[in-house]
Amino acid sequence: MNQFNTLEQQIIETITPSKKDREQLENTILTLTEIVKNKLNERRQNAVIELVGSTAKDTFLKDNLDIDLFIIFSPDIPEKNIASTTLQIGRDILQKSEECYAEHPYIRGIFKSYKVELVPCYQINDASQKISAVDRTPLHTRYIKQHLKENQKQEVRLLKQFLIGIGCYGAEAEVQGFSGYLCELLIIRYQDFNQLLHQVCQWNEGLKLSLTTHPILEYDDPLIFIDPVDKDRNVAAAVAPHTFHQFITASKEYLKTPKPTFFFPNPTAPWTLDKIKNMVNNQKESYLGIRFSKPNIINENLYPQVRKTCNAILKASTQEGFNIYDTRFYIDSKTDLIYIVIKIDNTPLSETYTHIGPPVKLEKNNKEFIDKWKDHPDTITPPFQKDNRTYVIVKRSYRQLKEYLENKLSTLSLGKHLDSIVSKEYTILTQDELLIPKLQVFWTQYLEDKKPWER
C-alpha cells in the first residue's frame, strides 16, 4: 500500500530530483571537488574535502540543489590560515562570491549555475573536540546517512516542502524556523511525515525530544531536540515561538483538509492603495514609521539587529509612557531600505506625569530622590509623600511619539551596524507617508492577516 495520499504523492513527484538532475549535480560536485583539491595542492595544504548537507544525504529538493563543501583541516593549523586558504580558493573559482563572517568565516557563490558554499573546519571525531560549531557539521551528515532509512528520504522532502510552504523552513535569522538537519531528525524520531504531523498537533512549548539516552539540559526554547552528536546542543534552538506555533496550526489544518497550498502557497495578491488607505484610515489606532538604509551585512547579522531595534523602540517608548500596540519591519531589497512600522495610540500624552520614588523607609534612596527632583527644571510639584512612598509631578519632555523618536532614536542600542547607520541618518514617516506602492505587499499581508496556505 502506498504510504502517501494522492496529494502527497503529487508533491513528491514535483519536488524529487530527476535522474538528469542527479547526474548533472554529481558531475558538478566531482568537478568542483577536483578543482578545490588542486587549489589546495598548489598551496601545499593537506586537507580533506567532504560534501555535507542535504546533497550528501540525498534529502535535497529539486529546486534547491545547493552544494556545501567542507574543507577539513588538521587542528594544529591556525584558524586564520584555514580561513584565508578557503576564502582565497573561493575567490578563484566561484562567481558572484560573497565572504561571510558569522561564528566562522566562509565563502559562497556560484559554480556552473549552482549555489556553492566553501566552509573551513577542523577534523574532529567527537563534538567535544570542536573548536567552533561548524566542526561538527560533517558528524551530522554521517549520522543522518547512517540512521535515515532509504524510504524516509521522501518523507524528509515532503516535510521540508511543507515547512517551506507554511513559512517555517530554515534556521537562518530571517525565518527562525526548522533546519534541514532538524527535519531529518524529526523523521527518524517519528518515522514518517503523517505520524509526525499527528504528534505535532499535541505539542506544547518546552517539548523535549532526543534520540539518545543523554540527560537533557534545561533550555529556554519552545522546542528542544538534543543533537545526537552533541549532547550539549539543542538542534531546535533557532525555532522561534511564532514558527513553532505556526507548525502546530498548519499540521492541524492540513490533517483536517489537505490541499496543495500547504506546500506551494499562492503569492500575495496586493490590495490596491485605495483599499489599504481606506482600511488604515478607518482604524482607531494610527501608524508611525521609521526608514533608514540597510547596512552591507549578511542577513544572519541583519535580521537580529532589526528585531533588536524593534524591541528597543518598544521598550523605550513604553517606558516613556507611549502606548505601542505592535511593531513590524519590512526590508526592501530593491532599494536597500529598512522600514519599521509602529502601531500606536495617537492621543497625545498628558503634559505632566507622576514619577514614583522609593519607599520612605529607604532613607538614603529617598534623600537622593528628593535631592534630584526638588530643584529640577521639569519639576511641577516638589517631592511629596503619600502612603509611605515619595512622589514628584514632572513635566513631560515629549507628548508625541514622533517627536520622541526624532530626538531619541539614535541614542537607543540598536545593534552594532544599525547604530552606525541611524546615528547618521533616519527619517520618521507619518501614516500617509507609509501608504506607498513599495509597501503594498507589506500592508496587504499585515491587514489581511492570512496564513500562507489560506491565500
d(CA 214, CA 232): 9
Q: Are 234 and 422 in contact (CB under 8 A)?
A: no
List the Cα angle 406/292/167 in 5-degree steps.
120
**Residue 415 backbone class (left: φ over 0; alpha: ψ -120 to 50; beta: rest):** left
| Cα–Cα nearest to 405, from 289, 260, 323 | 289
* Residue where the block lists cell 531536540: 225
CB-count burial class (<10 Å; 0-12, 13-18, 19+) for 273: middle
Cell triple for 326? 505592535
Distance CA(159)–CA(144), nearest Å, equals 16
Amino acid letter at 163? L
The reported pLDDT for the residue numbered 64 is 86
d(CA 148, CA 295): 41
Angstrom distance (rounded) from CA 379 to CA 375 = 7
Amino acid identity of residue 357, one-letter, is G
Three-state helix/strand/coil letters over 187-241: HHHHCCHHHHHHHHCCCCCCEEECCCCCCCCCCCCCEEEEECCEEEEECCCCCCH
Q: Which letter does DSSP use for residue 375 in this model? A: T
Spatial distance between the Cα atoms of 340 and 330, rounded to a whole number of angstroms: 6
d(C-alpha 331, C-alpha 287), whole Å: 17
pLDDT at res. 4: 65
Cβ neighbours of 3 (radius 10 Å): 13
CB 369 within 8 A of CB 390: yes
> In whole angstroms, how far apart are CA 14 and each of 62, 152, 330?
8, 17, 31
C-alpha dihedral sign at 217, 144, 48, 35: negative
The predicted pLDDT at position 65 comes to 85
Q: Which residues contact 93 (CB under 8 A, 6 or more apart)?
A: 32, 35, 36, 39, 111
Backbone φ, ψ for residue 383 (5° rounding): -55, 140
* Domains of the chain listed by start with CATH number: 1-143 (3.30.460.10), 148-265 (1.10.1410.30), 273-346+402-454 (3.30.70.590), 352-395 (3.30.70.1550)
Report which DSSP code applies to 162. H
Low-confidence ranges of the chain (pLDDT < 50): 1-2
Q: Beta strand 114-122 with 67-73: parallel, antiparallel or unpaired?
A: parallel
Q: Residue 102: what pLDDT?
A: 67
pLDDT of res. 1: 37
